[in-house]
Amino acid sequence: MSVRRDTAVRVRVSIPTPLRDEAGGAAVLDVDAETVRDALEALAAEHPSLSRHLFDEHGALREHVNTFVNEHEARALEGLDTRLKEGDEVAIVPSIAGGSAVAGGTSGTPAAGGAPGQDGEAASAATDRPADGAAALTPEELARYSRHLALPELGREGQLRLRRARVLLIGAGGLGSPAALYLAAAGIGTLGVVDFDRVDHTNLHRQVLYGDGDVGRPKIEAALERLRGVNPNVALIAHETRLTSANALDLIRDYDLVVDGSDNFPTRYLVNDACVLLGKPYVYGAILRFEGQLSVFAHPDGPCYRCLFRQPPPPGLVPSCAEGGVLGVLPGIIGSLQALEAIKLIAGIGETAVGRLVIFDALALRWREMRLRRNPDCPACGAAPTIRELIDYEEFCGVTTTGEAKQDEGGVPEISPTELKTMLDEGQDVTLLDVREPFEHQIANLDRHGVLAIPTNDVQRRMDEIERERDIVVFCRSGARSEKVARMLRDAGYPRVRNLAGGLLAWSDEVDPTVRKY
């Protein structure tokens, strides 16, 4: 970088929580720069591990990363060439998802028996009761919603709008739990829920729809049981299926708006594109570690998700919640805000998040708001859209239906769990390199087979502990982090490195079910 010292100014760069580990834990950093590009390059020079998150191999800013200057989108100014003034603040905003490609049951290949049926209805869909189409509220409803009726901005007409509304919730997990509870309590007439996952112990610290007694049950079954208890007046529709390109349009078409509680990039882009094609508002929420994002996309008056993040991050670059962690209360905050935005959109009250990206930093208890605009070159909602039908979103995001990064030609060789078991049973000499975090090692491990445990971020520093001429099998929870480490080792001259396909999750499924999944 060549910044003229006589023209550079001191600016502050805001680091999002998912990238703070790469910046030495800092929330903000001061750099000398003339332009936004200078600021990012100065930041990357000071913290080299940030570079791969910000720039691609050609030095261009990654398309899943956006930048703002004093809360205005840099792209709406002069992009990375936007000149900075003394004291300006540059905010880095990456896309976040929170899960793997299929976690939460919202993307991938339809589950058995869950393919869409006739007339756009999922084969597994079940309706509790039809929504009440009467024009007047019943005495029971007048009492139940009396605090709503006391609000002049909402009142009886607003409550009737809620009762007539049909809302589709994608995913009944961390975000979906509070959103579903508050939408049902508010009196949404028809609430559809898409999910095919089962309740796991690891869900319970944040997915407040469920308790210990629900572990092992289908989420859709447990969720609807809880929601019936919250408000029996709501018509609940169960869509026990993955959301896919084959069924998304049929599922979404019959609803007024979509609340996205999914946790992965393929579903995010699928929901966005389907909502744009159908003209349905899309209430967006995302969480990771201590940071949450909220907006409303695909609204006639605003941009879509692709306007903000045209391309997904490379597979494995953004950690899932299982890898990066998430504060349990955070999805409660963001999911509740999603319910709020849905209620405001339906009732026609207040100022919604259309054209705004709201970012919440739980550690600092700080809210920030970034102004968004529709990108005229957006392939989904721009002046000349090129997306006219749904595509293969796993392929688009570079993942398989199991959530793993696809292997490039000439990429890191993989070994299956059963193949590794055979090697171990035959007594072959192999180093098992566990690159997970210490807390994960305590939950589940392969220690009885002999393991060298070095967390991903420490591998480069501790490479001398890994014998170069041995067979090495690298593993993590799901195979994404270990693939990156295996590639690093091969690039460093380790010739006999393989990645355990599917990680410990696959090992538990295919070899040893006593290894706890988390």
239 in Cβ contact with 154 (< 8 Å): no
Which of these, 413, 415, 475, lies nearest to 447 by C-alpha position? Answer: 475
List C-alpha distances in Å: 176 to 59, 92, 260, 317.
37, 27, 8, 25
The string of DSSP letters for 413-432 reads -EE-HHHHHHHHHTT--EEE
The string of DSSP letters for 252-304 reads HHTSSEEEE---SHHHHHHHHHHHHHHT--EEEEEEEBTEEEEEEES-TTS--
* Residue 321 known to be catalytic: yes
Q: Which of 304, 381, 397, 476 is catalytic?
A: 476
Could you tell me if residue 57 is left (phi over 0), alpha (psi between -120 and 50 degrees) or otherwise beta? alpha
Residues 6+ apart with CB under 8 A from 483: 316, 404, 405, 407, 411, 412, 474, 499
* Residue 304 known to be catalytic: no
26 in Cβ contact with 20 (< 8 Å): yes
Residues 6+ apart with CB under 8 A from 235: 127, 128, 129, 130, 131, 189, 190, 191
Amino acid type, 173: G
230 in Cβ contact with 184 (< 8 Å): yes
Element (H, E) at 482: helix 480-491
**Structure tokens that stand for 62 in this block:** 């990654």
Q: Which of 321, 378, 381, 397 is catalytic?
A: 321
- Annotated catalytic residues are 321, 476
